[in-house]
Amino acid sequence: MTVHKLCNETDLNIGDKKAFKIADEHILLYRLDDGFYATQAGCTHLFKSMEKGLLIDGDKIQCPLHRATFDVRTGEPTLWAHFPPGIQLLNKVRKEKPLKTYTLKIDNGEISVDLSVAA
Ligand code: FES
């Protein structure tokens, strides 16, 4: 079974995010002004969960640890880890890497994730 129910559309308002653990995948679901998106919850820099990260500019998730920022729609980094000063030394071995994104299905207001097509 690769399609798993997450929640209902009405469970999130625009600007909200919610974390799920499904079949060993840690997923962050976001509601943006144009719909729902999902990425891996763990930052690709040093794996910190971004469940408590800030959603900035309406469509980017900022990691709470070193402030790497990712486009929620594509998973691409828009700003790599840059806090605290000196973290750039670590970045020599922790290169920019996008977040995995997931395909969502919405049926009768119910949101599901299809784990067979994660990108
Ligand atoms: S763990 Fe996320 S920016 Fe370092």
Closest residue by Cα to atom 3, ligand 1, is 66
**Which residue segment(s) compose the domain that 101 sits in?**
3-117
Please report the pLDDT score of residue 116 as a whole number: 86
**pLDDT of 118:** 64
Supply the pLDDT for residue 84.
96
Cα torsion for 8, 12, 14, 20, to the nearest 10°?
Answer: -100
Evaluate: CB of 65 within 6 angstroms of ligand 1: yes
C-beta of 81 in contact with ligand 1 (< 6 A): yes
Q: What is the pLDDT of residue 95?
A: 96
What's the CATH code of the domain at 107? 2.102.10.10
Run means of pLDDT, 10 residues per run, the chain, 119 residues: 94 98 95 98 98 97 98 98 94 96 97 86
Q: pTM of the full predicted structure?
A: 0.95
- List the 3-8 sheet strands across, edge first: 3-8, 110-114, 103-107
Beta bridge partners of 51: none
Task: Give me ligand 1 centre to Cα 97, in Å.
Answer: 11
Q: How many domains does the chain have?
A: 1
